[in-house]
A = this chain, B = another copy of it.
Amino acid sequence: MEGKKKNISMAVIKRLPKYQRYLGELLKNDVDRISSKELSERIGFTASQIRQDLNCFGDFGQQGYGYNVKDLYNEINGILGLTGEYKTIIIGAGNIGQAIANYTRFERLGFSLNGIFDTNPKLVGMKIRDVEIDDIDNLGDYLAHNEIDIAIICVPRNSAQRVSNILVEGGVKGIWNFAPVDLIVPKDVTVENVHLSESLMTLSYLLKNKDLEDQE
């Protein structure tokens, strides 16, 4: 199975969280097993797409039985790296930063909130869900004493690269970036962007060109 992993495309990887979400819902509803056809009807991918995707990671389906929901859910969690705990910090306690800090769903997925940093003296010292907002000037020192897996950048675009540099220097290997800039980081650091404006512009484009997209 390890050997198989190497050829997984980003397209498959991007679909995995959707499998995780749907299987999680099936589990909650006490569904034990499901065929690729039934899963297809729920999730909206074709049955052959589903079989092909899940085959990338090993043999989960059984002819005439379908998939064992719990096994498949656990396996996908494992593949996604959701079996352990990630220590996260948030940089920037503005609107988006506070929203992320308050979003308990992430904690349930294994992402714990360990620190929040901001420059604004009015925010420093305040608490969000038991985590006190610290001055961003202390970030470098904090990272020297705390191993953090993921930093969530929610600062304005002009400060994002500077913050990113401090994080990288402090040994952070994963950055979830909400600032509308493309960060420059060393090769061993992974950045996942959430560019909200770009998403909104895509919606705008699709609305204006609805007639052209209907064939999709």
Listed in ascending order, the chain A residues whose CB lies under 8 Å from chain B are: 5-6, 8, 10, 13-14, 16-18, 20-21, 43-44, 79-82, 86, 95-96, 98-100, 102-103, 105-106, 109, 111, 149-150, 173-174, 176, 180, 182, 187-188, 190, 192, 194-210, 212-214, 216
> Chain B residues with Cβ under 8 A from A202's Cβ?
13-14, 16-17, 192
A20 to B100, CA, bound (A): 27
Nearest residue, chain B, Cβ from A106: B200
Q: Are A199 and B176 in contact (CB under 8 A)?
A: yes
> Chain B residues with Cβ under 8 A from A98's Cβ?
95, 99
> Chain B residues with Cβ under 8 A from A86's Cβ?
204, 207
Q: Are A150 and B99 in contact (CB under 8 A)?
A: no
Interface majority SS (helix, strand, loop, mixed), chain A: helix
A-B contact pairs, 8 of them (CB 8 A): A16-B201, A17-B197, A18-B182, A80-B201, A86-B204, A105-B180, A106-B200, A192-B203
A10 to B216, CA, bound (A): 10
Add 18 more A-B contacts to A81-B204, A105-B197, A109-B201 (CB < 8 A): A5-B212, A16-B201, A20-B201, A21-B180, A80-B201, A81-B205, A81-B208, A82-B201, A95-B99, A95-B103, A96-B103, A103-B196, A111-B200, A150-B203, A174-B203, A174-B207, A176-B199, A187-B214
> Chain B residues with Cβ under 8 A from A105's Cβ?
180, 197
A182 to B45, CA, bound (A): 12
- The minimal Cβ–Cβ distance linking A116 to chain B, given in whole angstroms, is 14
Q: Are A207 and B194 in contact (CB under 8 A)?
A: no
Nearest residue, chain B, Cβ from A42: B182
> Chain B residues with Cβ under 8 A from A80's Cβ?
201, 204-205, 208
Q: Are A198 and B99 in contact (CB under 8 A)?
A: no
- The minimal Cβ–Cβ distance linking A47 to chain B, given in whole angstroms, is 17
Nearest residue, chain B, Cβ from A21: B180
Q: Are B21 and A198 in contact (CB under 8 A)?
A: yes
Nearest residue, chain B, Cβ from A192: B203
> Chain B residues with Cβ under 8 A from A187's Cβ?
214
